Amino acid sequence: ASGGAARNGRPKSGIRQVFSKFSPSPLSMKQFIDFGSANACEKTSFVFLRQELPVRLANIMKEIDFLPDKLLGTPSLKLLTSWYSQSLLELIEFLEKDPDDKDVLFTQALINIRNRHNNVVPTMAQGVVEYKDAFGVDPVTNQNVQYFLDRFYMSRISTRMLMNQHTLIFNGSVNPAHPKHIGSIDPTCDVVEVVKDAYETSKMLCEQYYLTSPDMEIKEVNSKNTGQPIHIVYVPSHLYHMLFELFKNAMRATVETHETSPTLPQVKVRVSLGTEDLTIKMSDRGGGVPLRKIERLFSYMYSTAPSPVHVDNSRNAPLAGFGYGLPISRLYAKYFQGDLQLYSMEGFGTSAVIYLKALSSESVERLPVYNKSALRRYQSTTEADDWSIPSKEPKKLSKYESTQ
C-alpha cells in the first residue's frame, strides 16, 4: 500500500497526506544493533528506511502546518519547509526501485538529504527569533511552539539517527578510531570515559574564557557488578552532547559565583548503574537558580541567549547562541526513554540528573506521532487558570483582624 501512492500518479501535494496517515515505527537499541551486526543486510535496511523515513518526515510536516501563519511566513521557515518537501520527494522515488539493483544510490541520497538538513536547528531557531522580534511572545503561542519544537527536534534526532546508521554501516568502511562501534552506537559505552571527555572539553573552554575552571570529582557505583566500570549500549555522541552542556552551565555558574574566592568548589559527578536506570548526577555550587526560572531554562521562546550572527556557518559549535542547549539535551535523554532534570537550591547550587535505561531492550525510540491528540494540542487555547494566582500585593488583612 505504501508504494502505491506514488505509483498511481497521485499529485505530489498528496504524498505528505498519504505518509502522515502511517504511524512511525520506533526501533529499540537492540534492533539498531541487529540492523548493523555482522550479518547486517543492506537490502533489509533499505526496504525499511524507504518507507519509514517518509513516514517520519510527513508526520512532522503535518505539524509544521499548525504553527502560527506569521511564523510560517518568516524567510527561515519558508527555507526549512522547502528542505523537508524536497527530501520527501527524493525519498519516495526509491519506493519503486529494486532492492537488489546495485545501481540504486540510496546511501548517497541519504547523505545528500542529511547534508541538506544540517542547519535545520539554527534555521528554525532563527525563524522563532524573527517571529518574536516582529510579534512578541504570548502564553498560548509559547505553549504551542514549545510543544511543537520538542516534537520537531525529536523527529530530527530520530531521522538523523536512522540515516547515520545506514550510511555509517553500509559505506563499506570501518571507523578506525572506533572499530567496535555499530554505526554511531557503542555496544560497550564506558559512561565515565564520556563524562571525562565532556569535562575536559568544557574545562578547556572555561579556561580560555575565564582563565580558571573548577575541578571535577567523579564516583561510580555499579550495583550490578560491584567494582566494575559501568558500560551500557548507547550513542556516545548523544551522551557527550548532554554532559558537555551540563558541564558548561555548571562551570560558568561556579566561576561567576566564586569570582572573588581564592579557590573554586568542585563539580561533583556521580554515576550509578541499577537494574532499570543508569543515572548521572552532576552537582555544582554555582549559586543555584530560583524554582520560578527552572522551566524557562527549557523554553525555546523565552530563551535569553542573543542570536548568533551567522546561521549559514555549519562549522559553528552546535546550537551556539540560541540557548537551546538544555531543551535539546533533554530531548537526547528522552529519545531512548530517559530524561534530564534540574534540581536547584537558590543561594547554593544546582544538581542536574540524566536518567538513561540500563537495558538495551528498554531503550526504545520515543517518537512524535501526528494524530487527533496532537491536533487537539495545537487547537487548544489557554483558558482561565483553575488554580488561584498570587497577586503582586498580599491582601490587606487589617479589616479581618481582631480589634481587641
248 counts as catalytic: yes
Among candidate residues 63, 130, 245, 365, the one labeled active-site is 245
β-bridge pairing 267-273 and 339-345 = unpaired
Q: H or E element: which one contains 83? A: helix 75-92
Query: Among this protein's residues, is 245 annotated catalytic?
Result: yes
Would residue 164 show up in a list of annotated catalytic residues for this protein? Answer: no
CA distance 297 to 128: 16
Using alpha carbons only, give the angle 187, 188, 191 rounded to the nearest 5 degrees: 125
172 dihedral zone (left: phi>0; alpha: psi -120 to 50; beta): left
d(CA 146, CA 298): 9
The total number of residues written for the chain in this structure:
404
Catalytic member of 21, 248, 281, 334 = 248
Contacts of 131 (CB under 8 A, 6+ apart): 68, 70, 71, 74
Distances (CA, A) of 37 to 129, 183, 252, 293: 43, 10, 42, 45
Give the active site residue among 130, 238, 249, 357: 249
207: annotated active-site residue: no
- Residue 263's Cβ-count burial label (10 Å; 0-12, 13-18, 19+) is exposed
Q: Give the three-state DSSP class for 89.
A: helix
- 385/348 Cα distance (integer angstroms): 33
User: One of 166, 238, 241, 357 is an active-site residue; which one?
Assistant: 241
N-to-C CA span, the chain: 84
Name the grid cell of 395.
491582601
Residue 296 CB neighbours (<10 A): 13
Catalytic residue ranges: 241, 245, 248-249
